[in-house]
Amino acid sequence: MTIPSPRICFFLGFLFCALLLGIALYFQFSDGLEPCPLCISQRIMLLAVALAFLTAGLHNPSKTGTRVYAVLGTLAALGGASVSARHVWLTHLPPEEVPECGPGLSYMFRNFPLGDTLKAMLSGTGDCAKVDWTLLGLSMPAWVLLCFIGLGAFSLLQWWNAGIRANR
């Protein structure tokens, strides 16, 4: 079996990220699920992974460059996984331990210091503990966490894929 080139793999990873972002937008605009601060942060991290993959695919670097992009994609995916893990943790808190709900992000960006808004985006609010959707018993943040782990592993695999290609 022939392993696709890192360039093809990075493009496939980009398409998967674009699909996930499209699904998020579908849930927001068609199903009316408003994203919480942690959801927005996860989307930003997914966009970072997508941009790393797209740039790698367009650049088509040599072995060393492929490895750099593989690490960048993995780091972005790990950042997204950490935000997703925080989100999953918040959804499993007992009701009395859930943080208070805060104002919407657009209000926070207009009226709060940037540091406070970024803290809310990364630590979450009570809105983030609410589970609106599940599939096979897993919430949306849990599925996103699994996707980030998979994307990180897929990106890191390109490190070895570049080595295989260089030895041919």
Cα 162 to Cα 140: distance, rounded to the nearest angstrom? 33
Burial 126-142 (b: 16+ CB within 10 A, else e): ebbbeeeeeeeeebbbb
Burial 60-77 (b: 16+ CB within 10 A, else e): ebebeebbbbbebbbbbb
Domain positions in the chain are 6-166
The pLDDT of residue 106 is 75
Per-residue pLDDT, averaged over 128-138, amounts to 84
The pLDDT of residue 165 is 59
Residue 145 has pLDDT above 70, yes or no: yes
Residue 49 has pLDDT above 90, yes or no: yes
pTM, two decimal places: 0.86
**Which amino acid, residue 30?**
S
Considering the segment(s) 6-166 as one domain, its CATH architecture is: Up-down Bundle (1.20)
Residue 166 has pLDDT above 60, yes or no: no
Per-residue pLDDT, averaged over 99-109, amounts to 73
Q: What percent of the chain has pLDDT over 70?
A: 95
